[in-house]
């Protein structure tokens, strides 16, 4: 791997604390940076209306996997068909893959899934696109890294080589503190996240939202990145009328208490935004809490296509040590120069309204037992 040509954007999922990726079979712990800044090359002259880097696209096109007459990948690796039946439990006996129109599922030996797991993944991808006004069909712009190697020892090497489809990895639920994560062409999930789709798929929503955004933008920093994913997670929970318990720590808890100090934004919103944006690591809730507020404000104030605008404009920049400055400039270019001041003015009433809406929405879901109750108020 040539480091200077790689964008490593590890976006690690939410509630759990520290992250260390682990190559289990080798028994080594792979330390990855919590949030490495991508180094992008030859990006500075991309015209505003056509921000896709043509060279990368051309390179990727040459890598396309061989397909049969139906467009299915010809591969030497074990593959499975899925019945679509939610009642069917499938025990995966060997590492294998499933191909769909827009994604691959890669299953690790030992995971348990249901027959309709692919149906849910297809639906989640579609709903995320509708909600965020972004598209999975854009080519991944930042990276040619195929992250499967971390978990499958270079198996499936002839599959999805051009990364035109999303790689969704379903791994055994770990016993250590390893957590789910995503990059521009991969979502890493555990079988616990997808085994009971009717109960909760919030982690899948969250990680696939990261893939969707990262697939078409440069890194936008933790606040925007986690904000977009958390916003999508909440919106789609409401749409499907399921409890958005994982959002509680970022919105307000079920007693309608704010868990985030918004007052920092009232006097100096720029400084507060920078402060939360420069938090790295995933042991802090602040980037998520700031993020869901900021993304909610952006969509309400600048319209539903504002995230798409931000993603496109981000492609015009090369990232360097002035990373936060650049992200703020991208946001301003996509919105208005006074966007942060407006956010500061919006927060007291604007967010209060959303907090109350959240509390009202969640009040229909009575905690069923002590465990639910403590989860909801965590």
Locate all alpha helices (DSSP H) within the chain, ordered by sequence: 54-61, 117-132, 149-152, 191-194, 202-214, 221-239, 264-267, 269-277, 286-302, 306-314, 323-334, 339-346, 352-362, 370-376
Q: How far is the CB of 217 from Zn ion (least distance, A)?
A: 15
Q: How far is the CB of 208 from Zn ion (least distance, A)?
A: 11
Residues 3-32 that bind Zn ion (CB under 5 A): 11, 13
∠ CA 279-175-245, nearest 5°, is 55
Are 106 and 194 in contact by the 8 Å Cβ rule? The answer is no
Q: How far is the CB of 13 from Zn ion (least distance, A)?
A: 5
How many residues in the shown chain lie near Zn ion by CB under 5 A?
4
Closest CA to 257 of 170, 377, 87, 176: 377
Residue 182 half-sphere exposure, CB side, CA atoms within 13 Å? 27
Closest CA to 218 of 33, 43, 34: 43
Task: Tell how strand 186-190 and strand 112-114 pair up.
Answer: unpaired
Nearer to Zn ion, 227 or 269 (CB): 227
Q: How far is the CB of 58 from Zn ion (least distance, A)?
A: 31
| Percent of the chain as helix, strand, coil, to the nearest 5 | 40, 10, 50
Nearer to Zn ion, 159 or 249 (CB): 249
Q: How far is the CB of 73 from Zn ion (least distance, A)?
A: 29
Nearer to Zn ion, 158 or 177 (CB): 177
Are 179 and 99 in contact by the 8 Å Cβ rule? The answer is no
Are 216 and 138 in contact by the 8 Å Cβ rule? The answer is yes
Nearer to Zn ion, 10 or 346 (CB): 10
Q: How far is the CB of 161 from Zn ion (least distance, A)?
A: 27
| Residue 186 DSSP symbol | E
Q: How far is the CB of 358 from Zn ion (least distance, A)?
A: 19
Nearer to Zn ion, 117 or 229 (CB): 229
Residues 198-257 that bind Zn ion (CB under 5 A): 226, 229
Nearer to Zn ion, 285 or 318 (CB): 285
Are 182 and 143 in contact by the 8 Å Cβ rule? The answer is no
DSSP string, 73-94: BP-SS-B------TT-EEE--S
Q: How far is the CB of 326 from Zn ion (least distance, A)?
A: 21
Nearer to Zn ion, 99 or 184 (CB): 184
Nearer to Zn ion, 229 or 236 (CB): 229
Residues that bind Zn ion (CB under 5 A): 11, 13, 226, 229
């Amino acid at each position: 791997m040539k480091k200077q040509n790689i964008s490593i954007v590890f976006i690690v999922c939410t509630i759990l604390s520290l992250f260390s990726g682990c190559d289990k079979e080798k028994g080594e712990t792979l330390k990855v940076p919590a949030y490495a800044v991508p180094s992008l090359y030859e990006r500075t002259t991309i015209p505003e209306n056509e921000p896709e880097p043509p060279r990368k696209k051309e390179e990727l096109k040459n890598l396309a996997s061989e397909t049969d007459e139906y467009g299915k990948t010809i591969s030497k690796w074990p593959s499975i068909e899925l019945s679509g039946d939610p009642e069917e439990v499938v025990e995966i006996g060997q590492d294998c893959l499933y191909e769909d129109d827009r994604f691959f599922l890669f299953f690790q030996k030992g995971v348990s899934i249901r027959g309709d797991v692919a149906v849910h993944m297809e639906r989640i991808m579609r709903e995320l696109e509708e909600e965020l006004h972004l598209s999975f069909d854009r080519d991944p712009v930042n990276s040619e890294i195929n992250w499967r190697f971390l978990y499958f020892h270079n198996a499936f090497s002839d599959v999805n080589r051009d990364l035109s489809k999303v790689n969704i990895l379903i791994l055994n639920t770990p016993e250590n503190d390893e957590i789910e994560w995503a990059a521009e062409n991969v979502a890493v999930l555990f079988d616990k996240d997808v085994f009971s789709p009717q109960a909760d798929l919030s982690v899948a929503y969250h990680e696939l939202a990261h893939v969707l955004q990262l697939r078409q933008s440069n890194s936008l920093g933790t606040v925007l990145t986690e904000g977009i994913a958390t916003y999508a997670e909440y919106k789609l929970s409401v749409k499907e009328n399921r409890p958005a318990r994982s959002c509680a720590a970022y919105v307000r808890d079920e007693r309608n208490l704010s868990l985030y100090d918004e007052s920092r934004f009232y006097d100096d919103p720029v400084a507060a935004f920078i402060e939360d944006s420069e938090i790295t690591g995933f042991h802090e809730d602040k980037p998520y809490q700031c993020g869901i507020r900021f993304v909610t404000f952006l969509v309400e104030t600048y319209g539903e296509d504002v995230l798409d605008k931000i993603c496109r404009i981000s492609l015009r920049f090369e990232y360097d040590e002035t990373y936060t400055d650049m992200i703020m400039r991208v946001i301003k270019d996509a919105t208005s120069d006074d966007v942060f001041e407006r956010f500061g003015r919006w927060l007291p009433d604007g967010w209060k309204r959303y907090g109350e809406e959240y509390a009202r929405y969640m009040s229909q879901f009575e905690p069923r037992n002590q465990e639910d109750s403590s989860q909801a108020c965590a």
